[in-house]
Homo-oligomer: A and B are copies of this chain.
């Protein structure tokens, strides 16, 4: 089954399944109890902590098991900020963090704190110098993911950790996407991860807090997991998480090369097979198994539907596949096309034949969506007060990718140097019209507010 969305969640690793079943039998009791069943549960919990700590690269007493990666992030951010409240209430995050980090930052701001978002380049990489510039005397915490969950770009964690260390600011690394592949390098202070991302069961997150890092766990707490994760320990899942983390790490060296080569094949072949495609993310400093591309004139939801009917499960950062109607904040921060966005993340064991099958299926799927959209896109109404050299295209009320499709239809109708002004109230247009100009070698001339939306001005250049 070609499930190509492990960056959302990985199928359960066989070792996780075995460990889970064994721990359901052996580790169901309360590890806080003194009788035999409780002592056995405590031993399993201690062993799991030891195993996970080795994989993280920390001491067992620095590691707590939380109920999810999201909960680990929320607790890490709140705990580190509270622990350094006397220093200040300034938080630094990259613009491409996982939503759990950004939600924690929003909560901090709603509570009176301040936050700075560090921007990224067009590959999605945050620069160490940008972190250095963002740090202030009142900065309590900086956060940087180990690798991006949408485009696979690996972040310069060691370098940013050094910058933070120099400034005396703790660095929290969200290692959700990379911990199954390798330990996080560098001198980080806090680390979080999520078991279901590496093939462990859902319901387990990791929270590591280095000794010496000031940390005050958010209330209410209880006595479990050093007061950092209240509630009865989910022991069978914790045991399965630790066992599978060790197993995937053992397999990582071999799988890494194999999957990286398959991703290279996708990165190379997709632009050859499908016209008007933008493959995004860093081609070299990237996760081995993940690649993202966007297709002009394509509705992301429709494309996912086509691929699903062909048996492929992939993900998308297009606005039209999300309930919020805004494109992925990652693609937005990178300034790249968001329409027709597809994220492919390969599970361990994916074969070359699986990938070739995907490459066989993709071009026709894109063609079908483009054909359908070209039919439904209106013949644009021309005109406007600016004269024959300029067009105004009213796409108010139309959703991505219709504004870009209509723009592409009319650009040939204005003379070289003439403009098309696209009126749109779709957030994705702000990203996709400049990205279209970039891809089609047209000149993007800026935006201005208009009643009911925004006017995006494109000057014909070719």
**Residue ID in chain B nearest A219 by CB atoms:** B107
Contacts of A308 in B (CB 8 A): 34-36
A67 touches B231 (CB 8 A): yes
Q: Which of A30, A34, A220 has the most CB of B within 10 A?
A: A220
A220 touches B74 (CB 8 A): yes
Asked if A12 is at the interface of the complex by the 8 Å CB criterion, the answer is: yes
Q: Quick one: given A8-B33, A33-B315, are A235 and B202 in contact (CB under 8 Å)?
A: yes
A236 to B204, CA, bound (A): 13
Please choose the segment from A97-105, A141-149, A407-415 that sits at the chain B interface, where 4 or more of its residues have CB less than 8 A away: A97-105
A28 touches B5 (CB 8 A): no
Contacts of A38 in B (CB 8 A): 313
Q: Quick one: given A34-B301, A202-B237, A313-B36, are A103 and B219 in contact (CB under 8 Å)?
A: yes
Contacts of A314 in B (CB 8 A): 35
Asked if A289 is at the interface of the complex by the 8 Å CB criterion, the answer is: no
Q: Which of A8, A35, A234, A307 has the most CB of B within 10 A?
A: A35
B34 touches A305 (CB 8 A): yes
Contacts of A315 in B (CB 8 A): 33
Asked if A424 is at the interface of the complex by the 8 Å CB criterion, the answer is: no
Q: Tell me the A226-271 residues at the B interface (CB within 8 Å).
A: 230-237
A308 to B29, CA, bound (A): 14
Q: Tell me the A100-124 residues at the B interface (CB within 8 Å).
A: 100, 103-104, 106-107, 110-111
**Residue ID in chain B nearest A30 by CB atoms:** B8
Contacts of A441 in B (CB 8 A): none
Q: Quick one: given A8-B30, A220-B74, are A236 and B313 in contact (CB under 8 Å)?
A: no
B-contact bits for A312-334, CB 8 A (1 contact / 0 none): 11110000010100000000000
Contacts of A301 in B (CB 8 A): 34
B-contact bits for A347-368, CB 8 A (1 contact / 0 none): 0000000000000000000000
**Residue ID in chain B nearest A32 by CB atoms:** B8
Asked if A9 is at the interface of the complex by the 8 Å CB criterion, the answer is: yes
A304 touches B236 (CB 8 A): no
Within 8 Å by CB of A24, from B17, B110, B205, B312, lies B17
A234 touches B30 (CB 8 A): no
Contacts of A219 in B (CB 8 A): 103, 106-107, 110-111
Asked if A196 is at the interface of the complex by the 8 Å CB criterion, the answer is: yes
Asked if A378 is at the interface of the complex by the 8 Å CB criterion, the answer is: no
**Residue ID in chain B nearest A16 by CB atoms:** B24
B-contact bits for A197-239, CB 8 A (1 contact / 0 none): 0000111010000000000000111110000001111111100
Within 8 Å by CB of A321, from B34, B74, B305, B307, lies B34
Asked if A155 is at the interface of the complex by the 8 Å CB criterion, the answer is: no
A418 to B11, CA, bound (A): 75
Q: How far is the CB of A256 from chain B (nearest CB, A)?
A: 23
B236 touches A201 (CB 8 A): yes
Within 8 Å by CB of A232, from B194, B220, B307, lies B194
A103 touches B220 (CB 8 A): yes
Given contacts A70-B232, A107-B219, A203-B234, 17 further A-B contacts (CB under 8 A): A5-B33, A20-B24, A33-B315, A34-B321, A35-B308, A36-B313, A67-B71, A67-B231, A69-B232, A100-B222, A103-B219, A103-B221, A106-B220, A201-B234, A202-B232, A202-B234, A203-B237
A to B CB contacts below 8 Å, 11 in the list? A9-B232, A20-B24, A33-B313, A35-B307, A68-B230, A71-B230, A74-B230, A103-B230, A104-B220, A106-B220, A205-B231
